[in-house]
Amino acid sequence: MTTKHLLPVLSLPEDLRESLASAAGPVYSGERFVDEIAATPCGGVACIGDFVSQICLSALSRRPDTPLLLVLDGKTRRESGVATGVPEGFKLYQARSPPGHLSLEVYSLVCSAIEGGGRSAVVVEGEEDLAALAALDCGSGWTIVYGLPGVGGVVVHNCLRKPGVGSSGIIAFKPGVVRLKA
């Protein structure tokens, strides 16, 4: 058996789907959302999603030295064709993660990019939504930003949380593999 086309993943158990749909922190919209990102007290900002990443880039435009991670999949609300390009000067990573799963590839890249600081972008083939869990796990000194479609943006200042509080819940995910198309 060849492992060439197998992707190690963590799968979201059905019984956790509803609880993970709730926000891991306060939800903001409009100018308050932008202001909360711009005023981050943390050492870096991880922005998950194409629309959210555009807002982060705008909010942090006057703070070019702030470490920043963008995680993109070229879609907003599951619609392709979003034109969020990777800004000049960002280190680019590419990874795969099928819908409903968090690939270990994406998890590792998100954590490595946060640990390395600087400005990076992870472009995901598939779906980037669950990458927020990796950022919450690895970004203890960072602000984590992600969207709740139709509701607003979640901003979690992980640097202000007590250690061990607000676990991402990823420990309950099921390890497995997904067969990729050749």
Q: Which positions make up the binding site?
A: 50, 52, 73, 75, 128
Report yes or no: 46 and 153 within 8 Å, Cβ to Cβ. Answer: no
Question: How far, in Å, CA of 71 to CA of 126, rounded?
Answer: 12
State the DSSP string of 63-118: -TTS-EEEEE-SEETTEE----PPPTT-EEEEEEE-TTEEEHHHHHHHHHHHHH-S
Report yes or no: 69 and 52 within 8 Å, Cβ to Cβ. Answer: no
Question: How far, in Å, CA of 61 to CA of 40, rounded?
Answer: 13
Binding-site residues for GTP, please? 50, 52, 73, 75, 128
Residue 162 corresponds to which tokens in the numbers above? Answer: 């007590």
